[in-house]
Structure 1
Amino acid sequence: MYQPFEYFLGFRYTRSRRKNHFISFISMTSMLGITVGVMALIVVMSVMNGFHKEIRERILGMASHATVTAFEGGLAEWPDAMRLAGEHPKVIGAAPYVEMQVMTVRGESVSGAVIRGIDPSMEAQVSDVGEHMKSGSLETLSAGDYSIVLGSELALKLGVTVGDKVTVVAPTSMVTPVGTMPRLKRFTVSGLFEVGMGEYDSGVGIVHIKDAAKLARLGESVTGVRLKVEDLFEAQQISRELAESLPNLYYVSDWSDHHRNFFRALKMEKRMVGLLLALIVLVAAFNIVSMMVMVVTEKQSDIAILRTLGASSRSILKIFIVQGAAIGVLGVVLGVILGVLLALNVESIVDTFERMFNLQFIDPDLYYISKLPSDLHWDDVVMTAVVAFIITLAATLYPAFRASGIQPAEALRYE
């Protein structure tokens, strides 16, 4: 099979033994550096994707994908809003809710919280909080019983458990013979939940929607309607479509509006970590530069002979670009293979190390998870491989241009 001599010589130089063993050492170090850099990038980005996925799922276990509310006051026509929103083909669940800021009191313990009124029969359509119950269940909530399900950390702050009483102080007021007083209501703790996010576990209480509406003096109105969509990443587009189709009496928002800064910070964090880890590949690329410069110096007589035989400067340039690129490609391929294997098995590998050395890499009391999550995205793998290859290819240009500029007479003068 025909092969241009530039490629043949380039690969031959890559495989040949060096007179100077230090060059071979630097060549191997450069390849290993690229391998380690690519592998580390893939593994770390996969782990960060896993953390982001866990956080997103925990947040959206309580927060809705989208909400429909009134521009002012309560939403009185919520059945119509549910019906109209449900007509969208990508809306798969809808449920009314009532929400307000309150103070929860138990003896001398006081804590601010958000009271969310739900319909227990419909809540499973829009959230999975029912799957995170530590004790009790959402079905224990019934209208008129004034039962409450608390986040585990909120219950710990108040020092209560199932069966205890909690006083809820609502922001609405009532007029009494002694003056205006805040509305107080005693609720019985009927369950505890833990979704793994401090924002919710330490600051949310769930009650029946009719009890919450009565406490907030909304009558038959609700705060809004929570929606669940097929693909949460399309929630923003679906919200726009719903806003256009629903009458002007309704305001539609999505989960990214409420958590935009948080998820933007996570995305920026991933980019910065990726940039820092890319420095490993950059350092390996500098090693390629130094190695190629020494190879060019060592091969000056070979270059001169090739030039006298008719090889052009462009051919010499191609030879050394092929040699450097071969090292880069080998390092990138090995890094991708090892990185993908590690990313797919990082949970079991960490678990094995924990058992072998009796260690605990992740404290579940601090991070709410007991295992290192990993979520491999192939677009991250492709981007990492392409960027690493471009960096290594760019590193070969200076030595290759230097080789192409060698003059035969100067190179052979002292031979």
Structure 2
Amino acid sequence: TLIAPKGKISPAGLLPRMRRFEVSGIFEMDMYEYDSGIALIHLADAARLLDTDGGVTGLRLSLEEIYRAPLVSQQLRQQLGSSFRLSDWTREHANFFTALKIERRVMFVILLLIIAVAAFNIVSTLVMVVTDKRADVAILRTLGLRPSQVMAVFIVQGVVIGFGGTVVGGVLGVLTALNIETLVPWVENLFGIEFFPASVYVISDFPAQLKWPDVYLISGVSFLICLAATIYPAWRASRTQPAEALRYE
């Protein structure tokens, strides 16, 4: 039974306008907002229920290029004037897309923090290597190796570590993004959990679109952070004094 928001006036007062329908089929769009509150009925039945005298109250357009919806809506608004109300899917779900943009920025910051932690690991590793190889560095200095060359040796070592980690992480990230729609259901079935409950989120699955500019940006920033992390250990190694380092050897 459907009840229209607009009632009808009778001698007994304002009565709700209602009509009983028989469910002939169920459709799913995998979007909780639509699956929980959208029903399709015949146009004539809707006109009688809403008391519109059989007239059409609205039109819905389908575009081949869905991302042109805001532009088309603006053009129609200019041509039709203020007597018509126009809306497109980007305006109807504006809050959702704003939330996605904020989450994207937050995830980028979190990713940078993770990379920073990895960079500190590189710093600590190279500092330990410098401490362990202090005598070897002193011997090389006595043989004529310049401080800049000592610094270059440790920078190259840090660059190799950072480049290898960036390549491996980038490849794993790309493979995960390309197969995320398969991996998420598999993990949910394996552990009996649900990452995106349909009653909470607008979507019930986890679609992903790989954008190579983002991959290049993240990989480049990661490599630069790793490169910067090698400067201090390399500088510390170049400051090694041969006499001081070999005194107790």
TM class by shorter chain equals: 0.7 to 0.9
Mapped partners of 1:174, 1:352: distance in 2: 53
1:195 to 14, 17, 29: 29
Paired positions, count: 246
Mapped partners of 1:292, 1:384: distance in 2: 23
Q: Which runs of 5+ in 2 are unaligned?
A: none
Summarize the Cα distance change of 1:235–1:397 in structure 2 as closer, same or farther, 3 Å threshold: farther
Mapped partners of 1:182, 1:350: distance in 2: 46
Summarize the Cα distance change of 1:332–1:186 in structure 2 as closer, same or farther, 3 Å threshold: same
Mapped partners of 1:262, 1:365: distance in 2: 14
Mapped partners of 1:274, 1:393: distance in 2: 20
1:321-340 counterparts in 2 under 5 A? 321-340=155-174
Structure 1 stretches of at least 4 aligned residues deviating more than 6 Å after TM superposition: 349-354, 368-372
Spell out, residue by residue over 1:103-157, the C-alpha distance to the aligned partner (whole angstroms, 9 max, x if none): xxxxxxxxxxxxxxxxxxxxxxxxxxxxxxxxxxxxxxxxxxxxxxxxxxxxxxx
Mapped partners of 1:328, 1:266: distance in 2: 30
Mapped partners of 1:173, 1:352: distance in 2: 50
Deviation at 1:414, TM superposition (A): 4.7
Equivalent in the alignment of 2:10 = 176
1:184-333 counterparts in 2 under 5 A? 184-219=18-53, 221-273=55-107, 275-276=109-110, 279-304=113-138, 307=141, 312-333=146-167
Structure 1 stretch displaced more, 394-403 or 303-312: 303-312
Measured on the aligned residues, the alpha-carbon RMSD in Å equals 3.7
SS in 1 for 2:165: helix
The residue type equivalent to 2:44 in the other structure is: K
The residue type equivalent to 1:169 in the other structure is: I
Summarize the Cα distance change of 1:226–1:350 in structure 2 as closer, same or farther, 3 Å threshold: closer
Q: State TM-score, norm by structure 2.
A: 0.76
Equivalent in the alignment of 1:68 = none
Higher relative contact order, structure no. (Cα contacts within 8 Å, ≥ 6 residues apart): 1
Summarize the Cα distance change of 1:205–1:348 in structure 2 as closer, same or farther, 3 Å threshold: closer
The residue type equivalent to 1:178 in the other structure is: A
Deviation at 1:312, TM superposition (A): 5.0
Summarize the Cα distance change of 1:331–1:251 in structure 2 as closer, same or farther, 3 Å threshold: same
Q: State TM-score, norm by structure 1.
A: 0.49
The answer on 1:389 being equivalent to 2:223 is yes
> Greater strand percent: which structure?
1
Equivalent in the alignment of 1:40 = none
Mapped partners of 2:87, 2:178: distance in 1: 36
> Greater helix percent: which structure?
2
Mapped partners of 1:251, 1:371: distance in 2: 32
Mapped partners of 1:283, 1:233: distance in 2: 39
Deviation at 1:177, TM superposition (A): 2.5
Mapped partners of 2:56, 2:204: distance in 1: 38
